[in-house]
Every structure is written in structure tokens, then in C-alpha cells.
Structure 1
Amino acid sequence: MGTDTKPGYLNGLNPAQAQAVLHEPLSSLQILAGPGSGKTRVLTTRIAHMILEHSILPSNIVAVTFTNKAAKEMKDRLKKLIDPKRVEEIVMGVYISRFSPLELTNKGTFHAVCIRYIKIYGKFLDPPMSKNWTIADASEAKDLVASVCKSNDELKSMVDFCRNKISWYKAKRMSPDDLEDLAEATENKFQQRQYKQVAYVYEQYEKKLKSLNMLDFDDLLLEGCRVFEQIPHANNNIHVMLVDEFQDTNFVQYDLMKLMSRRRHVSIVGDPDQSSTCLGRSETFLTATCSLRMESCRDW
């Protein structure tokens, strides 16, 4: 390729987008921009650039987004830039038939990526993952919470509240014991009662999941964290990591990103103004932004 010839995959990109695509692949990159600015296109083209120009193996790339639509869009765009067979080698989730309900809705998400690693390394954890576990989908998880709440007059009307709170606390990697500690620490009687109620439902819900040998969606992320915390070499194949729609990342997903990408070769794309109104997610985006900047991340 001549010095004045640019790769065809850069056609149609403006100078700023092209610079982001060409940024050194084995370093961090943060792309913050608004809707319609081509963020996902830049991320997708950056993946193609890593493979075509830097000979990074597709199997050494983890690309994560947060919706099935976005994952499909990313794959479809990549297949126009590189060999479709190579696109399938990128770690964006693996089709496993008995997990198909989750796979259909979360292909390319942190959940799907965690399934891949839990299946490989779960038996080596301490304590080890049980065999033949299945996934409790949203409806099944709610039914289990309801079965706990409906056995207690005080909790009968709190099914949705408790289910949402359990998911919220799992996203912060907090256990029922942590909620009991919060209850003891607060002098607000209403909050204290609420912490204790949710802690009770949370604990009983976990027992029911365990008895059924099931994981809910939040557990997939928590067990994924356990894999990378206990088995450092589990991420040896991850040379670069790219995360789309990063503003929708919660705390446990951010922990996963850090654990999976110990080399710190991370590219994130997001729009803080589009972040969920959920405070935890906004805090996560700010924390990640500061962390990446301290690691000499390049901003675009």
C-alpha cells in the first residue's frame, strides 16, 4: 500500500473518526460523542483495522454491546469489511442451544461473554460451579421472588420492588449480609426496615435458585467476575476489548471490563448525556472515565 493510499475501510469517515480508528490498538481509547455521530461505526471500523493492519486475531478481541440490535448491527458492518468467517471468531457470545432464550436477547452482551468463560472455567472455581446449571429468565426470577414474598403478609405487595432491589444490589456486588449491615448502620427506622425486608427476600431467593441449580442474569455477571478474579490466566486470550454504549454499564459490568482487560487495551464508546437516569450507572461512567484517563487513555 502506497504512502498516499488509505485503507478502503476508512472511506466515508471524517478526519476525527479516522484518527480514532487508527489510534494505537494496544492502548486505551475513549470515544465520547452524541447520537448520530458515528460512534458505533468508528468502533466497528477500529476492529477491522486491528485485524487487517495489525494482525490481531479475531479470537483475541472481545467486543461487547448492550442490545441484540446493536450486536447485529456491529456484526453486519464488520462482515462488509472483513471475511465473515473471521467476524464469527470475535468473542461476542457463543451460541449454546440450552441457553438460546438468553442468547437471542443478549448475544454480544456481557452476559453472553460470561457464559462462554463460565462454561470453560466454572468447575475450577472455589467453590466450584455446579454441573448442568440453567438460567432463570426474567419471568422465572420474578416468580421465585413472588413465592418468597407471598408467604409473608408484609411482603405480598413488594414483589416488583424486591426483585428490582435484588438486581440493583447484585449489580453493586452486595450480598444479603451487606444489606443487614446497612440496616444496622442506619438510624432511619423506615430504611432499616426496608433493608431487612429486602435482605430476607434476597437470601430466600438465593436459596431457591441454588436448590434449582439456576443462575439469574445478574449471577452470570457475578460468576464471570469470580472466574477472572480466581483464574488470572482466563483472560490470556483477550488482547483488546471494545465496549459500545458504555454509558449503560453498571458497577459489576465495569468490574468485569477491568478484570477481563488486565492489559488495559480497552476502547470504550459512549455518550454520558444518554446515560440511564439510574445514579449507579452515571457514577460508573464517571469512575471509568477518570480511571481510563489516569492510564494515559486517548480521548476523541
Structure 2
Amino acid sequence: MYRKKKTTVISTTTTTTVTTDIKTNEINDDKFLHDLNSEQKRAVTCPTNQSTLVLSGAGSGKTRVLTSRIAYLLNNCDVKPYQIFAVTFTNKAALEMRHRISSILPGIQLNDMWLGTFHGLANRFLRIHCKMVGLKSDFIIIDPDDQLSIVKRILKEEFKETNFYTDKPKAIINFINKCKDEGKRSTDIMINHENRFKQLIYSKYETYIQQENKLDFAELILLTKELLEKEIDLQVHYSKKFRFILIDEFQDTSTLQMDWLKLMIDRDNHF
């Protein structure tokens, strides 16, 4: 888990244990604890003033623990839904978690809780703050096939002779996505003989999707991170808003995603 003030992030790795030096709260008879083993209960009821890392193997109930933790916070710790930022790696898991929490705590409205994938939460964030990044609220999210079509169009319009370039469109898309995942814009790339052409297409690709009010998946994360870096007041707002940050499969978090999370953590907090 990962803490920010009274913020927790749950992550998972290999064995069904909980990190040492955790003094659990008294385990009560809440119905969402009934199907958990003792170690899972320790994770769900761990104190709210520290970071906690939960280690567990495949099929050991990581997502169920995360779901129960959220229910525990809402029911036992005077936490409001809007104070929780919870990330899963699939939309299906997010829907199942929301459904389970609603069934456990039917009286709590979860619309204000930020629960979803990194891309889904970034989409929500940018819909709210679209004007600050030069987008319209109805921006379109494009998939890899759309990216490929755009790159092919740029190549066709800019370079009539196909012999002019040797890079395949898919290779260019991979280059663009890799750069974005590393937090690099086209202007951040150190140009050399091997990447000169890809960098040029990346630059034209950036201009095209901005003009067309479109975002690819990598852009969702990068633009969210860049906006929080630039707008300190916004960064402070969200760091105060989200008392608890919970991440499923934390070991799979990318560098860019981690950079985004750090921007929502108060300076005096720790992992």
C-alpha cells in the first residue's frame, strides 16, 4: 500500500502476507470481513495513518481485499466516497468492485468515488479540466488502429514518395507511444540518425491530434501528469481531496503512472 497523509495504496506481488510492523485495528464483525482469512483481514483493517504494502500471489484474492478495504474505510473510518482514488487494471474489475461495494454498503452513493483504470481516471480528470489543456469537453479517445491510420495519412500527405522513408507505420506508432510512456514530447527527444524521421512524424502527429480534439491512451496519462505539474493549485487541490489512494497490481505501475500518483501525494507522506 501507499500512503498519503491518511492515504493508502494497496499493491500486490507474491505471497499471502502483510508487511511487518503493522498494528491492525480491532477486527469486528463487519459482513465484508467474513470471507477473508486472518492476513486479509489485517490488510483490510490496517491503520489509516501509515503506508501498507500487501504481498500476495495470483488468485489469492487481491482485488477482493482492495474492495473490502474501500468498504471498511467508508463504513468504519468516516471516509467519504469522493476522498478515495482507487485504480484497477481493467474496466471489468472496476465495475465488479463498484458493484460489490454497493451490495455491501447499499446506502452509500459511489458516483463521487474515483474508481477505475489509470486511463479511465485520466479521462475523467481531463473532461473536467479540458479547457486548461486546450481541449473541448467532447474530445475523442483514439485506439491503436486510429493511431495507425493517422500516421499513414501523415506519411501520405507529407511524403509522396514512399521510398523517402524506411520506417514502418507501426514502428513509428511504437516509437511515439514509448516516448509518451517515458514522459517525452517530440521536442524532448535527442535527435540522431536513427530516430530523426520518427521524431519528425511524432511532431506532426502531436499537431494533428490536438487540432482534431483527439487523444490516444498514452496521451491521457501524459497530459494529466503535465497539467498537475504545471498547475500547482490544482495539484494541491487533488492532494487534499484524495485522503486514500489505493492501487491494485502496484508492481505493474509504469514510471509515468507513478509520476502522476506522486503529484497527488503530500510532501510529508511516504511509501
**TM-score of Structure 1 vs Structure 2, range by shorter chain:** 0.7 to 0.9
Equivalent in the alignment of 1:65: 88
Equivalent in the alignment of 2:21: none
Q: Which has the higher helix share?
A: 1
Picking from 245, 259, 264, the partner of 1:241 is: 245
- Correspondence list, 1:21-60, <5 A: 21-60=44-83
Change (3 A) 1:239 1:264: farther
Change (3 A) 1:84 1:206: farther
Matched, 1:168 2:178: yes
Report the alpha carbon displacement of residue 122 of structure 1 after superposing the two structures with TM.
3.6
Size of the alignment, in residue pairs?
Answer: 237
Matched, 1:14 2:20: no
Equivalent in the alignment of 1:204: 204
Change (3 A) 1:27 1:227: farther
Matched, 1:111 2:119: yes
Say if 2:44 and 2:65, in contact at 8 Å, map to a contact too: yes
TM-score computed with the length of structure 2 as normaliser: 0.78
Equivalent in the alignment of 1:261: 265
Q: More relative contact order in 1 or in 2 (CA 8 Å, sep 6+)? A: 2
**3-state SS in 2 of match to 1:12:** coil
Say if 1:111 and 1:221, in contact at 8 Å, map to a contact too: yes
Change (3 A) 1:263 1:57: farther
**3-state SS in 1 of match to 2:194:** helix
**3-state SS in 2 of match to 1:215:** strand
CA distance in 1, matches of 2:202, 2:75: 48
Aligned partner letter, 2:37: N
Say if 2:88 and 2:248, in contact at 8 Å, map to a contact too: yes
CA distance in 2, matches of 1:214, 1:174: 18
Matched, 1:177 2:187: yes
Q: Which runs of at least 4 in structure 1 moved beyond 4 Å after TM superposition? A: none
Change (3 A) 1:173 1:131: same
Runs (5+) with no aligned partner, structure 1? 93-107, 184-191, 266-294
**3-state SS in 2 of match to 1:233:** helix
* Larger mean Cα displacement after TM superposition, 57-66 or 217-226: 217-226
Matched, 1:91 2:114: yes
Equivalent in the alignment of 1:129: 134
Query: Over the residues paired in the alignment, what is the CA RMSD in angstroms?
Result: 2.3
